A and B are shown apart, each in its own frame.
Chain A
Amino acid sequence: MDRMEPQAFADLLRQAGDKAFNFAYRLAGNEQDARDLVQEAFARALEHAGSYDPSRAFDSWLLRILHNIFLDGTRRLATRKTVSLDAPAPVEDSSWEDILPAKEMSAADELIRRESIDMVQLALEKLPAHYKAAVILCDVEGMSYDDIARIMDVPVGTIRSRIHQGRVLARKAYEELERKGERRQ
């Protein structure tokens, strides 16, 4: 693989690095796997730079590569989850309203909100890979259905269905976690 010009690579990192890492972290659920995913994605992107269409956004292309790597390694990644299922019970009876930031929040409210956000993340991790990726790209990354369809290489109609099913499953997983009193440690 040819070496890149420092400035060109710095531009790519600035353009897509944070988004790629956040996507990888949400997909994998832990930092070490996110690091591996991002490194591998950049390696493959630069290795196949010739197939990149400059008329498309680089970050979408990189996320597509990253998503494919994740799907390839889902079984391996699944063995290294960092989620603790025997952690102390969280605050009970938190609703979706608890998760949303209020105008004035006490420290205790903020703690409850953060725990709830953690539980949403935990619920997200319980989704099957295809639903999880669709929901992350839509709700976390704020991407359009068209961009998500390009990244996941499926029709827009399929993306629409996956996003909705993913949300319904995430909501169910959240309610289940809340009932059992689980949270990320």
Chain B
Amino acid sequence: MNGHADGPELSAYLDGALAPEPRARVELHMSSCGDCRAELDSLRHLKLALSAAPRKAMPADLAYALERRFVHADAPAPWYAILTRPAVWAPAGALALATLTVSLWLRSAATLEEIPLEPLLAAHARYSAEALVPEDNLVASNYSDQVSDLPDAPESDLQ
């Protein structure tokens, strides 16, 4: 063998794909050629690196989809497949929305009932007191003093 080993032959040697005669020839050449040994080493490392990459197994959902497509196309769908039909999820969604709306309305109504009564009564008393102040004296500067001088509102107004 003159020069260096043929590249494809070197790869075939690496892959164990050479017939005995060319294999012996390549081995004889490499025994005296450092460049070809280095090249073979480099190719071997690449081959090992490629084979070391993790294998990608077929995803389970793809296998299931293939089986559904090519085997069970006429078979009844699983029970949970019904949930994907608009005829089911549309009314169910509307019902859920209505339930949510009613719940929010009831919650807001309950909130109104929870407003403390005492501040309301105090405000009512204040308005009653204001009603007793003569209109001519409803001036911002002396309004508070006049209100404080008034007698308490009658009990009947607080009911």
Contacts and interface: CB of A to CB of B under 8 A. Distances in A.
Instruction: Label chain B's interface by main secondary structure.
Output: helix
Given A164-B7, A164-B10, 9 more contacts: A13-B58, A17-B63, A21-B62, A42-B70, A96-B42, A99-B52, A117-B54, A139-B50, A160-B17
Contact of B65 (A18, A20, A39, A142): A39
A20 B63 CA distance: 12
Interface string B10-24: 111001010000000
29 contacts: A1-B70, A4-B70, A9-B66, A9-B70, A13-B58, A17-B58, A17-B63, A21-B58, A39-B69, A42-B66, A43-B70, A96-B46, A97-B45, A99-B48, A99-B52, A121-B53, A124-B50, A138-B15, A139-B46, A140-B53, A145-B17, A160-B11, A163-B15, A164-B10, A164-B11, A167-B47, A168-B7, A171-B42, A171-B43
Interface in B69-125: 69-74
B60 to A, nearest CB: 10
A139 B70 contact: no
Contacts of A138: 15, 47
A120 interface: yes
A117 to B, nearest CB: 5
A28 to B, nearest CB: 11
Contacts of B156: none
Contacts of B70: 1, 3-4, 9, 42-43, 46
B11 A163 contact: yes
Contacts of B17: 144-145, 160
Given A139-B47, A140-B53, A9 B67 contact: yes
A43 B70 CA distance: 8
Nearest to B52: A117
Interface string A6-18: 1001100100011
A3 B71 CA distance: 5
A178 to B, nearest CB: 12
A11 B56 CA distance: 19
Contacts of A22: 55-57
A163 B15 CA distance: 10
